[in-house]
Amino acid sequence: MPLTTEERRRQFEAEALPHLDAVFRYAHALAGDPTRAEDLTQETMFKAFRAWDQFRPGSNARAWLLTILRNTFINEYRRRQHEGDPVDISAIEPHTVFGDVQDVDPEGRFFASIVDDEVLRAIRTLPLDFREVLLLSDVEGLPYGEIAELVGVPVGTVKSRLSRARHALQRQLYDYAVEMGYVKRRVS
């Protein structure tokens, strides 16, 4: 039996709307700029509401919304075939910066000196495949299996992307912290 308007609305408010912030953050990570992220968020929520009867109450609404968002973004992205990714994937260093700081700041205290804007800017320079897994794991706290399903790649790929994304981000933040004098560059 189809839901009444009132039931749909109540369910949507209870199960979908609480994930609006997560949807927006993922949209921002995918699209890069806040205006496109807002448009994507809006489109995702409309699509989800229109398709609400297909959603099984009690199942993972966040995963469902993020999947709609991702598919919407990919379709649009393919259509536009625009701006190449700013960082070359092969140039991402697969190494932690721990080796550089273990003598001067083994606890990574320098991270705390870096302002949020700089952290977010550094994340945006990561290629899409990398920044999305980083966001989904390290901000949204999704397990590897859920990320793999959402992104449509094997768990092993999630692991390696995540590890490279973290190291690439560490490297950028470390270089920034050295520039700003928050940590001394290691003399080798």
Partner 1 sequence: MSERSRDIECREAVERLYEYLDRELTPELRAEVERHLNDCAGCFHHFEFERAFLRFLEARARGRGAGPELKRRIIEELFGPEAS
Q: Where do contacts with partner 1 occur on this chain (CB under 8 A)?
A: 9, 12, 17, 20-21, 23-25, 28, 38, 41-42, 45-46, 49, 96, 98, 101-102, 106-108, 111-112, 114, 116, 119-120, 123, 134-135, 137-139, 141, 143-144, 159, 162-163, 166, 169-170
Residues 6+ apart with CB under 8 A from 50: none
Please state, in angstroms and rounded to a whole number, the distance separating the CA atoms of residues 115 and 158. 28
Taking the least distance from each CB to partner 1, the nearer of 89 and 119 is 119
Please state, in angstroms and rounded to a whole number, the distance separating the CA atoms of residues 187 and 78. 45
CB of residue 176 to partner 1, shortest distance in Å: 13
Taking the least distance from each CB to partner 1, the nearer of 166 and 184 is 166
Taking the least distance from each CB to partner 1, the nearer of 84 and 94 is 94
Instruction: Tally the C-alpha atoms within 13 A of residue 4's C-alpha that lie toward its C-beta.
Output: 3
Which amino acid, 109? R
108 exposure class (CB count in 10 Å sphere: 0-12, 13-18, 19+): middle
Taking the least distance from each CB to partner 1, the nearer of 14 and 20 is 20
CB of residue 79 to partner 1, shortest distance in Å: 23
